[in-house]
Amino acid sequence: MSKSQLESRKTKIDKVTDALRDEYVRKSSDAERLINFVKEQLNAAISAENIAVGFPTSSRVKSLQSIAEKIDRKRRPVKSVSEIDDLAGIRVVLLFKRDVEFIENFIQSTFVVISSENTASRLDESSFGYQSSHYVISLPSEWAKIPSLAGLDGMRAEIQVRTIAQHMWAAVSHKLQYKVEDSVPLEIRRAINRSSAVLEVVDLEFDRVLLERESYISQITGTNPDKSLILNVDLLQEISNRLMPERGGDNVDGYAILLQELISLGINSVGKLEDLIFSNMDKAISEDGLYLMDEDNENLTSPELWNNGCYFSHVGMIRNMLRYKFGDKADEVIK
C-alpha cells in the first residue's frame, strides 16, 4: 500500500469519533452473536426444506475501516453503531431462483423487518445491474428474554438473498467496477449487456431443469419401470426406496457415486439392479443386524440410521450386495 493510500485511510479513520470507536469495540461481539443466531435460524430453515445453496451461508461484522469509508462516502456523521444497518451482515446464496421467495417469506415471518429492497426494482427492462434482495432486520423483542440472546434487543443485521447467477454478476461487476450501466464505457456496453442477459437466462433455465426433474421423479415414483431401462440416479434412488425398507442416511451424491460403481460392474439397467437386490437382500439384512449387535458401531454410522435400527444406508446395502456378487472385483471399483 502506498504512502498516500495509508494517509487517506488514516484520514478516514480519524473521522470516526472516540465514542463511536469505543462503542464499536463493545458492540462488535454482540453483532457476532446476532450473526451466529440469525445464521442458525436461516440454515435450519434451509435444511428443513432441503433447499439447495450455492455456497454456505456467509457473514461478517463490518470493520471499523469500512465504517470510516462509509462515513467519508456519505459525508454524514454517524453518532452510534446502532445507526449502521449492516454492522452485522449475512448473505444467503441459493442455486434456484424459486427458493428465493421461500427464504424471503421466512425472514419476514421470523424476524422484525425494518426495511427491505429488491435491487432489481431499480432497473428497467433494458438495463442491467446488481440484483439481490436486502433485508434489515432485528429480533422480536420477546426473544430478548432468552438468556443466550440477552443484549441483542434492538440490534440490526442486514440479510442479502440472491441466486448463484446473481452472485456471479455481483462478483464480476465489483471486480470491474461496473455496478451500474452509466459506469460502463460505451465500447463494451453491448458485451456487458449480453453477460447480464445470459445470467438471467441461467436462473430461468436452472428453475426449468428443476421442474422437469421433479416431473420425471413423480412419473417414476411407485411404478415398476421397464426392466430394460438404463439406470440413472433418480431410477436408482426410486428402486432402492421401493425394494428396500426405509433407512435414511443417503444423499444424491452417494447415489451418484454408487451409480458409477454399478455401471462399472455391469449393473446398468433396472432389471439387473432388481435382480441384484432380490438375490442378496436377506444376506445384506443379516449383515446389517450383526453390525447393530455391537454398540461400539454406533459411532461408525450416522445417528439417523442408528436411531432407525439400521447400520447401513441403502447405498451401503447395495455396495455390500456388489461385494457378495463380485468379490474382490467389487472392492476394486467401490470408491
pLDDT of residue 130: 60
CA–CA dist 193, 196 (Å, integer): 5
Residue-wise pLDDT tens for the chain (335 aa)? Answer: 555 554 555 554 555 678 888 888 888 999 999 999 999 999 999 999 999 999 999 999 998 888 888 777 766 677 777 778 889 999 999 999 999 999 999 999 999 999 998 866 655 544 455 678 999 999 999 998 899 999 898 899 999 999 998 888 877 766 665 555 566 677 777 777 777 788 888 999 999 999 999 999 999 998 889 999 999 999 999 999 999 988 877 777 799 999 999 999 999 999 999 999 999 999 999 999 999 999 999 999 999 899 999 999 999 999 999 999 999 999 999 97
85's grid cell: 444497518
Q: List the grid coordinates of 248.
A: 435414511
**CA–CA gap between residue 310 and residue 247 (Å, rounded):** 7
Give ranges for CATH 3.30.460.10 in the chain.
Answer: 3-199
Rounded CA-CA distance 197/82 in Å is: 38
Question: Pick from 173, 176, 175, 174: which is nearest to 127 by CA?
Answer: 173
**Residues 155, 88 contacting (CB under 8 angstroms):** yes
Q: Pick from 186, 183, 152, 175: which is nearest to 27 by CA?
A: 152
Query: Could you tell me the fold of the domain covering 3-199?
Result: Beta Polymerase; domain 2 (3.30.460)
Q: Which segments of 57-124 are extended strands (E)?
A: 58-61, 88-94, 112-118
Q: Which residues contact 261 (CB under 8 A, 6 or more apart)?
A: 319, 322, 330, 333, 334, 335
Q: Which residues pair with 93 in a beta bridge?
A: 162
127: its cell numbers: 438495463
C-alpha–C-alpha distance, residues 84 and 20, integer Å: 11
What are the grid coordinates assigned to 200, written together?
438471467
Q: In this structure, are residues 71 and 114 in contact, taking their beta carbons and an 8 Å threshold?
A: no
Residue 75 burial by Cβ neighbours in a 10 Å radius (0-12, 13-18, 19+): exposed
Q: What is the CA radius of gyration of the chain?
A: 27
| pLDDT on residue 123 | 54
Q: Which of 142, 161, 144 is nearest to 152 (CA)?
A: 144
